[in-house]
Amino acid sequence: MLKRTFLLPLLLASPAAVAQTVSGDPWAGERLAAQQCAECHLMGGTARATVAGVPAFQSVANDPNVTELGLRAFLSTPHHRMPDIVLSRREINDLIAYILSLKTP
Protein backbone atom coordinates (compact mmCIF):
# COMPACT_ATOMS: atom_id res chain seq x y z
CA MET A 1 0.00 0.00 0.00
CA LEU A 2 2.87 2.36 0.70
CA LYS A 3 4.11 2.04 -2.88
CA ARG A 4 0.72 3.00 -4.29
CA THR A 5 0.50 6.01 -2.00
CA PHE A 6 3.91 7.14 -3.15
CA LEU A 7 3.34 6.56 -6.86
CA LEU A 8 -0.16 8.01 -7.12
CA PRO A 9 0.93 11.68 -7.00
CA LEU A 10 3.54 10.99 -9.68
CA LEU A 11 1.01 9.28 -11.93
CA LEU A 12 -1.51 12.07 -11.51
CA ALA A 13 0.97 14.88 -12.07
CA SER A 14 0.75 16.56 -15.44
CA PRO A 15 3.82 16.46 -17.70
CA ALA A 16 4.13 20.23 -17.28
CA ALA A 17 4.21 19.91 -13.51
CA VAL A 18 6.83 17.19 -13.69
CA ALA A 19 8.91 19.22 -16.16
CA GLN A 20 8.85 22.21 -13.84
CA THR A 21 10.57 20.16 -11.15
CA VAL A 22 13.53 19.35 -13.42
CA SER A 23 13.78 22.67 -15.23
CA GLY A 24 16.26 25.37 -14.41
CA ASP A 25 15.80 29.05 -13.74
CA PRO A 26 14.43 30.84 -16.83
CA TRP A 27 15.67 34.24 -15.62
CA ALA A 28 19.21 32.92 -15.20
CA GLY A 29 18.84 31.30 -18.61
CA GLU A 30 17.79 34.61 -20.14
CA ARG A 31 20.87 36.32 -18.68
CA LEU A 32 23.09 33.53 -19.96
CA ALA A 33 21.48 33.72 -23.41
CA ALA A 34 22.02 37.49 -23.49
CA GLN A 35 25.71 37.00 -22.67
CA GLN A 36 26.49 33.91 -24.76
CA CYS A 37 23.86 33.55 -27.48
CA ALA A 38 22.35 36.92 -28.43
CA GLU A 39 25.07 37.69 -30.96
CA CYS A 40 23.51 35.07 -33.24
CA HIS A 41 20.05 34.25 -31.83
CA LEU A 42 17.29 36.83 -31.68
CA MET A 43 15.98 37.25 -28.14
CA GLY A 44 12.59 38.69 -27.25
CA GLY A 45 11.91 42.07 -28.82
CA THR A 46 15.56 42.76 -29.53
CA ALA A 47 16.12 44.55 -32.83
CA ARG A 48 19.65 43.16 -33.12
CA ALA A 49 20.36 41.44 -36.41
CA THR A 50 21.12 37.74 -36.26
CA VAL A 51 23.32 35.48 -38.32
CA ALA A 52 21.49 34.24 -41.41
CA GLY A 53 19.78 30.93 -40.86
CA VAL A 54 20.06 30.99 -37.07
CA PRO A 55 16.61 30.63 -35.49
CA ALA A 56 15.28 33.05 -32.91
CA PHE A 57 14.73 31.46 -29.52
CA GLN A 58 11.00 32.13 -29.93
CA SER A 59 11.00 29.99 -33.09
CA VAL A 60 12.89 27.22 -31.32
CA ALA A 61 10.41 27.28 -28.43
CA ASN A 62 7.40 27.13 -30.75
CA ASP A 63 8.73 24.30 -32.89
CA PRO A 64 6.47 21.33 -32.05
CA ASN A 65 9.42 18.95 -32.46
CA VAL A 66 11.53 20.67 -29.81
CA THR A 67 11.53 19.00 -26.41
CA GLU A 68 13.43 19.48 -23.18
CA LEU A 69 15.31 16.25 -23.86
CA GLY A 70 16.14 17.33 -27.41
CA LEU A 71 17.42 20.71 -26.26
CA ARG A 72 19.50 19.02 -23.56
CA ALA A 73 21.12 16.71 -26.13
CA PHE A 74 21.71 19.59 -28.55
CA LEU A 75 23.27 21.87 -25.91
CA SER A 76 25.44 19.07 -24.55
CA THR A 77 27.20 18.26 -27.82
CA PRO A 78 29.33 20.43 -30.13
CA HIS A 79 27.84 21.59 -33.43
CA HIS A 80 29.66 22.92 -36.45
CA ARG A 81 27.55 26.08 -36.74
CA MET A 82 27.80 27.07 -33.07
CA PRO A 83 30.82 28.46 -31.22
CA ASP A 84 32.52 26.03 -28.86
CA ILE A 85 30.75 27.18 -25.70
CA VAL A 86 31.00 24.75 -22.79
CA LEU A 87 27.98 24.97 -20.51
CA SER A 88 27.60 23.47 -17.07
CA ARG A 89 24.64 21.23 -16.30
CA ARG A 90 23.04 24.10 -14.38
CA GLU A 91 23.55 26.52 -17.28
CA ILE A 92 22.00 24.00 -19.68
CA ASN A 93 19.00 23.59 -17.37
CA ASP A 94 18.62 27.38 -17.09
CA LEU A 95 18.93 27.92 -20.84
CA ILE A 96 16.37 25.20 -21.54
CA ALA A 97 13.99 26.72 -18.99
CA TYR A 98 14.38 30.12 -20.66
CA ILE A 99 13.84 28.82 -24.20
CA LEU A 100 10.79 26.76 -23.22
CA SER A 101 9.35 29.72 -21.30
CA LEU A 102 9.06 31.56 -24.63
CA LYS A 103 6.61 29.00 -26.03
CA THR A 104 3.31 30.62 -26.97
CA PRO A 105 0.03 28.71 -26.74
- pLDDT band for 4, please (50, 70, 90 cuts): very low
Domains of the chain: 2-101 (1.10.760)
Whole-number Å distance between alpha carbons of 19 and 42: 25
Who contacts 8 (Cβ-Cβ below 8 Å, separation ≥6)? none
pLDDT 10s digits, 20-74:
444 799 999 999 999 988 878 877 655 455 666 788 888 888 999 999 999 999 8
DSSP 48: -
CA separation for the pair 74, 92 (Å, rounded):
10
Smallest CA-to-CA distance from 104 within 37, 40, 52, 56 is with 56
Residue pair 61/100 in contact (Cβ under 8 Å)? The answer is yes
Question: In this predicted model, what pLDDT tens digit does every residue of 73-88 receive, in sequence order?
Answer: 988 887 777 777 889 9
Q: What burial class does residue 93 get, using C-beta atoms within 10 Å of its C-beta: 0-12 exposed, 13-18 middle, 19+ buried?
A: buried
Residue 23 carries which side chain, given as an amino acid letter?
S
